[in-house]
Structure 1
Amino acid sequence: MQLPGGLDAAVFLRDYWQKKPLVVRQAFPGLSSPVTPDELAGLACEQAVESRIVIENDNGRPWQLENGPFEPQRFESLPSTHWTLLVQGLDHWVPELSPLLDQFRFVPNWRLDDIMASYAPEGGSVGPHYDQYDVFLLQAQGRREWHFGGQCDDSSPRVQGTPLRILEAWQGEETQILEPGDMLYLPPGVGHHGIALDDCITLSIGFRAPSHDDILTGFSDFLCNQPGAGQLLKDPELEVQTNPGLISDASVAGIARIVEQALGKQDLLALWLGHYTTAPKSNDIVVPPDEPIDTKELHADLEHGQTLRWNEGSRFAYRPFGEQVALFVDGERYMLNGEAQAIAPILCASSEPDSTALARLAQDPALSGLLVTLINHGSLYFE
């Protein structure tokens, strides 16, 4: 696989991923923005769309944040410069944008998040800051001047009087101007500041990175719902203590064995990871179709060459489990046996799975039933 722009993906992961920034000139030659500023403003007025406005100086208050949805009149009252509109999950609302994520599947599906759009008039930005996740910044319209470089963390000085994490007195190590089609990769923790040189739209391809707290609490909650989790502590080797208030080494060791046995069950960990990483980001995205289909309609559509694709908010993953394969879709698990296992890698390889292969596999009644289930749940649809 190749990074957009031609760099070998293995070389990128080895030399740049979570190590250092990379500018890729004309990663997407001839790119024009798939949305206009007016369309972004319209999306920001929708209840289900996550949106924000950042104003650099709001009547003397630095870097103020407003959360959507917004009334249309709000955009008429904004200053002429030095503000930014952010629209999250743009790939969910603009279906033709979703295939862009397929260009970044040199990382696992579960690590990809979504596409955020940033519109700013001349001078607009969200301030110097750092992110805790990897991001590719793709210029879609206009020009943006990026200052970046230097590792930052929670101890880095910040501007006071703002709800945003704006770095104070920060100076980047490198400056680059990105034009449409150019792309900048930034690892977690690298300070950066992008300033619009004219009306510009930047697309941010973000990645998911669960915190250690999310992993530990999520997996422990999952373990608590497994068979046998309700059994009580047993200590048949209990001995008389000189002081009953002492928590003995033997007691600690007994509890440690319970924890170690639970955390050491890698199959259960993999099951939890499949459920956790494919759970949809929003319940407003993955919804059943207005008209469910049956297997007869499925076969007719496949025979006529219609293309199945993922719902823009859906997540697909799979993992072998002994003689079975677990297919995870939007937080649900489907266990596949025998020849049926072949459908899992096909469904998970791309947001537009191989229609020819799916049509062949759908001759199996069980697999045609699976596809119908996924369509009627809203995870797949025919283009």
Structure 2
Amino acid sequence: MYELNLDIAHFLEHYWQKRPLLIKGGFTDFQDPISPDELAGLAMEEVIESRLVTRFDGKWAAEHGPFESYDHLGEENWTVLVQACNHWAPEVHELALPFQFIPGWRFDDVMVSFSTPHGGVGPHIDNYDVFITQGQGKRHWRVGDAKPLEEFAAHAALLHCEPFEAIIDAIMEPGDILYIPPGFPHEGYAIEPSLNFSVGFRAPDAKALISSFADHLIDNDLRTERYGDPDLKPRARHGEIQPHELHRLRELMQQALDDETLFKEWFGTMISEAKHDLDVSPMEPDYSAEEVADLLTQGEPAIKVPGLRSVWFSGESRSCYIDGEAWTLPSEDAAAISLLCDKDIITQADMVELADQAGFLQLLTRLINRGYWFFG
């Protein structure tokens, strides 16, 4: 278990979404949760998103995996990055747990990279919050202020920004953590063979949210109000759009957004859906509720699949959203909903205080059979 050396309240007040922070010794006696060889093994898998970034003879290049070998690359100037390693390596998932003071719906994944000396991805700007932990090796990091910078394609799959003046310029060693909010330019290059672990948090913009909301309406064939103008008056200017018409159109769109049930249904579905594949194995044959109860009674915990996204809304006590789907309990029980969404492990002791243990057990059995929780 990793213990974060950080005053969380002070960090949230003074740094979160405001300015970058270098946390020297953020993790004491840090041990890599995964080795370079294990990371290379994940990068060989078709279902796992990976990327290779190189810079040879001053030319940047990037390509997507899977990758079979790195022998042809030499000993310097390349980096391999693997997304959502927490979905496939429980040890990497544990590295995200100390950051659970940030709302779970904001969490994205843990990306792991291995870099040879001088390897990196170049100067760039991210649109999400990230905590970068230094594993083995050392890496030189520079972070600039959040100012308008020109961005350009250094390669078809690699977006860079123009040079910037650093406000953080430091060499990171194992256990050091660098927090970077959205919009701050940064670049890091390995001094020696290095592992880096990036715990990222989504920061969606209005464009993405509106697009997703519209897709939800269309995909689910949901009825909305249609524009009407029964009070129309004759007009001389045929091509004119009048202010009251524009206002009515805006109100029409706002009505859909103001539908609380519809809005929650969309957001819960959207935000709980995994961006990357999960290591999910449905049960064959299915467990019965009695078998699940017996295993829990015997002390076997039900463990949530690493990376599974589960969220609930304050005030809701019957339903939650898991992996892009709404799930409902037979009766209201806020403690049961919290158990599914706020914890990674469910034990028999957790169920003792539930109002409807039988109803919860039925739902948990369905989730286990789907492969979302498992005994191990």
Q: TM-score, normalised by structure 2?
A: 0.90
CA distance in 1 between counterparts of 2:228 and 2:150 reads 49
CA distance in 1 between counterparts of 2:194 and 2:300 reads 36
Task: Tell me if the contact between 2:114 and 2:195 (Cα under 8 Å) persists in the aligned partners.
Answer: yes
* 2:23 is aligned with 1:24: yes
- The answer for the alignment partner of 1:128 in structure 2 is 123
* 2:272 is aligned with 1:278: yes
- CA separation of 1:66 and 1:86: change in aligned 2, threshold 3 A: same
SS in 2 for 1:190: coil
Task: Tell me if the contact between 2:303 and 2:346 (Cα under 8 Å) persists in the aligned partners.
Answer: yes
Deviations 1:142-176 (A, max 9, x none): 111212222244x4265755642223433423222
Task: Tell me if the contact between 1:316 and 1:327 (Cα under 8 Å) persists in the aligned partners.
Answer: yes
Q: 1:36-115, aligned counterparts within 5 Å? A: 36-57=35-56, 60=57, 62-72=59-69, 75-115=70-110
Deviations 1:252-301 (A, max 9, x none): 34333322222222342222111110012235544423442110111011
Greater shift after overlay, 235-244 or 100-109? 235-244
SS in 1 for 2:365: helix
* 2:175 is aligned with 1:181: yes
CA distance in 1 between counterparts of 2:118 and 2:246 reads 60
Q: 1:282-361, aligned counterparts within 5 Å? A: 282-283=276-277, 285-320=279-314, 324-336=317-329, 338-353=331-346, 355-358=348-351, 361=354
Identity across the alignment (%): 34
Read off the aligned partner of 1:82 and give its amino acid letter: N
Greater shift after overlay, 296-305 or 363-372? 363-372
CA distance in 2 between counterparts of 1:227 and 1:124 reads 49
CA distance in 1 between counterparts of 2:278 and 2:199 reads 21
Count of residue correspondences: 374
Task: Tell me if the contact between 1:3 and 1:12 (Cα under 8 Å) persists in the aligned partners.
Answer: no
* 2:139 is aligned with 1:140: no
- CA separation of 1:250 and 1:308: change in aligned 2, threshold 3 A: same
Task: Tell me if the contact between 2:139 and 2:194 (Cα under 8 Å) persists in the aligned partners.
Answer: yes
Task: Tell me if the contact between 2:311 and 2:320 (Cα under 8 Å) persists in the aligned partners.
Answer: yes
Displacement, 1:329? 0.8
SS in 1 for 2:308: coil
- The answer for the alignment partner of 1:10 in structure 2 is 9
- The answer for the alignment partner of 1:222 in structure 2 is 216
CA distance in 2 between counterparts of 1:227 and 1:109 reads 28
CA distance in 1 between counterparts of 2:283 and 2:30 reads 32
Q: Aligned Cα RMSD in Å?
A: 2.5
CA distance in 1 between counterparts of 2:125 and 2:229 reads 50
* 2:159 is aligned with 1:165: yes
- CA separation of 1:78 and 1:259: change in aligned 2, threshold 3 A: same
Of 222, 230, 234, the residue aligned with 1:236 is 230
Read off the aligned partner of 1:43 and give its amino acid letter: L
SS in 2 for 1:357: helix
Of 243, 249, 262, the residue aligned with 1:255 is 249
Displacement, 1:236? 2.8
Displacement, 1:80? 1.3
Task: Tell me if the contact between 2:318 and 2:332 (Cα under 8 Å) persists in the aligned partners.
Answer: no
Greater shift after overlay, 61-70 or 157-166? 157-166
CA distance in 2 between counterparts of 1:280 and 1:376 reads 19
Displacement, 1:98? 1.2
Q: 1:360-371, aligned counterparts within 5 Å? A: 361=354, 364-371=357-364
Greater shift after overlay, 163-172 or 102-111? 163-172
Listed as ranges, the gaps of 5+ residues in structure 1 are: none
SS in 1 for 2:255: helix
